[in-house]
Amino acid sequence: MITVEEFWRDYLVQSDNDNQELQISMFGDESTCDELVSLIASGKKSAGSSLLKDYVACGEDIPEVGRISLVVDAKGKPVCIIEVTEVIQFKFKDVTERVAKAEGEGDLSIEYWKRVHEEFFNASKDALAIENLQEEMIVTEFFKVIYSH
């Protein structure tokens, strides 16, 4: 099995991005990660959404266009490298069809997006002091796969 470091090194050798710092991305949680990563690798998933409060609570910067990340599965195995192409923010209640389709999950509908994201975000409801999820700001990053083995 190839390690994260070997995968990253292989990417750097084959690209012009030799000054990029390694950033690792895991999508979802342990129970959903492998499914989401499979959608990314297949090209069906080209966006991911998070609560703005989650970035703030973790002290993480909001993704920026051009950011490159190595995507790993639930066991930490490298799968592909993505580049952020666009970042938008909106209230949960205002999710668009474009976002739902780009996320590549379920039937690609707004209703499906809201249902699964509400379930996922509710796990953090108390820790992030969320009173009304519908009014919470969401950060969606659009991305493209730029490298895979």
| The pLDDT value given to residue 17 | 74
Exposed / middle / buried, residue 40 (Cβ in 10 Å: 0-12, 13-18, 19+): buried
Reported pTM? 0.92
Segment 69-98, tens digit of pLDDT: 999 999 999 999 999 999 999 999 999 999
Give the pLDDT mean for 122-142.
Answer: 94
pLDDT of 131 above 80:
yes
The domain spans of the chain are: 4-148
Please, how many CA atoms are within 13 Å of residue 100, restricted to the half-sphere of its CB? 18
Give the pLDDT mean for 101-127.
Answer: 95
CATH topology (fold) of 4-148: Sulfate adenylyltransferase (3.10.400)
